[in-house]
Amino acid sequence: MSDEVFVEVEFKGPRDRAIGFVEGYRLAAGEGRVWFCPREHLDHGSLLDALKERMHLETHVILSRELADRVAEALEESDLLDLEVEETHEIECVELPFEFKCFSRDEAVEIRARIEKDLPEGVKLEDYEVKEDIDEDAAGVEMYSPVHDFIAAGKGRYVGTVPGVMEICRRLEGRDFIHPGRAQLHYVT
């Protein structure tokens, strides 16, 4: 498991400026991945934070502690930008809840494989429950009928490192029958 520490940085200022500055700095420095919270499926906690984000008054970005420190230093040295680091929070882990429901045995096998296998380093599957119901009396009924001979449903959550859980988010994104919730950041206290 990687020992890299990730932080959520809250920038005060226009969103486009914050994203442009961080992404430009990252690319010029040849650094790793950065996640811009407005583009990710993250739960912001409070309605006020969500409104500030929507109104482009602040932007939340997840990046390594090392890169965050260098970006903050670069911002302090520049007086051309109306942008500043408001707060920084160290992330302990990320939690991603999900649920699924399908009506085909083949689809259930594929969904379970996608959910259960090849988890990224530092990610655990917790509180995972699967239920499969078979109704022999409904066999032969059409696909869009309210009655199905097979129903597979499940739910659970992934808990782990920022890069690992964000990879899972990408893996589940846009998949039929799988419904990921909003990822929640848990901070070091």
Rounded-to-integer distance, Cα 149 and Cα 129, Å: 20
Give the predicted TM-score (pTM) of the model: 0.86
In tens digits, the chain (189 residues) has pLDDT values of: 458 999 999 999 888 899 999 999 999 988 878 998 867 878 766 666 666 666 656 888 999 999 999 999 999 998 888 899 999 999 999 999 999 999 889 999 999 999 999 999 999 999 999 999 887 776 665 566 677 788 899 999 999 999 999 999 999 988 889 999 999 999 998
Side-chain-facing half-sphere of 18: CA atoms under 13 Å: 26
What structural domains does the chain harbor? 6-92 (3.30.70), 94-187 (3.30.70)
Q: Is 45 exposed, middle or buried (0-12, 13-18, 19+ CB in 10 A)?
A: exposed
